[in-house]
Amino acid sequence: MSRAFTREDDSENVIADIGERPVSASRNLVTEQGLAHIEAQLASLREDLAKAEADADRERIATVSRDLRYWQSRRETAEVSVPEPDSTVVRFGMKVVIEDDKGKRNVWQIVGEDEADAAKGRISHASPMAVALFGKSVGDLASVNGHEWEIVELGS
């Protein structure tokens, strides 16, 4: 009988199917800080890969290699965008203060997808809120998920 039919799983030779990290179809706009973040990720992953190779950790090599491909792709397609300092309309990279009809205020900076972090006040340029805000000025309303927000201040 063939050896192939005697063993159903050879865990030493099987690497989990980790798949690729999905890459957004949106333009890869980044702030200068976002570009620095991408480059830091690449440097860290290169170190991780060297360590995984030294340890002959095949699963870690596969995972880190996948992440390296993702960040290399993001670096290759990154478009650094700096907000116009005197813009009177919402643009990428700007901070926007919005207020709802109950007086609740939020401050958002519109950034690249890889640097977005709502807990730190940074939203992706591809998010529904950012899309609703783009091109609007102080005093304009933006509607998102049935809520209206007034733009009360713009900054860079």
Asked if 107 and 148 sit in the same domain, the reply is yes
Answer positive or negative: Cα dihedral of 116, 117, 122, 125: positive
Domain assignment present for residue 3? The answer is no
Decide if 137 contacts 71 (C-beta within 8 A).
no
Domain assignment present for residue 116? The answer is yes
DSSP string, 100-119: -TT--EEEEEEE-GGG-BGG
Cα–Cα distance between 151 and 140 in angstroms, integer? 6
Res 16: pLDDT: 58
Domain containing 105 — which CATH number?
Answer: 3.10.50.30
Asked if 123 and 75 sit in the same domain, the reply is no
Q: Is the pLDDT of residue 140 over 70?
A: yes
Domain assignment present for residue 10? The answer is no
pLDDT (tens digit, 9 = 90+) per residue, 108-136?
999 999 999 999 999 999 999 999 999 99
Res 1: pLDDT: 47
Res 83: pLDDT: 83
Res 89: pLDDT: 96
Give the residue, 2 or 155, on which the prediction is more confident. 155
Res 18: pLDDT: 79
Res 85: pLDDT: 82
Q: How many Cα neighbours within 13 Å face the side chain of 13?
A: 5
> pLDDT grade, residue 74 (50/70/90)?
very high
Q: Is the pLDDT of residue 153 over 80?
A: yes
Tokens of 141: 């309303």
Nearest alpha-carbon partner for 28 in 74, 59, 71: 74
Cα–Cα distance between 39 and 95 in angstroms, integer? 24
DSSP string, 3-53: GGGT-S--TTT------PPP--SS--EE-HHHHHHHHHHHHHHHHHHHHHH
Q: Is the pLDDT of residue 10 over 60?
A: no
Cα–Cα distance between 106 and 100 in angstroms, integer? 9
Domain of 71, in residue numbers:
20-80
Q: Are strands 147-155 and 95-99 parallel, antiparallel or unpaired?
A: antiparallel
Domain assignment present for residue 2? The answer is no
Res 42: pLDDT: 98
Residue pointed to by tokens 């690729």: 20
Asked if 32 and 76 sit in the same domain, the reply is yes
pLDDT (tens digit, 9 = 90+) per residue, 12-61?
444 557 789 999 999 999 999 999 999 999 999 999 999 999 999 999 99
pTM above 0.85, yes or no: no
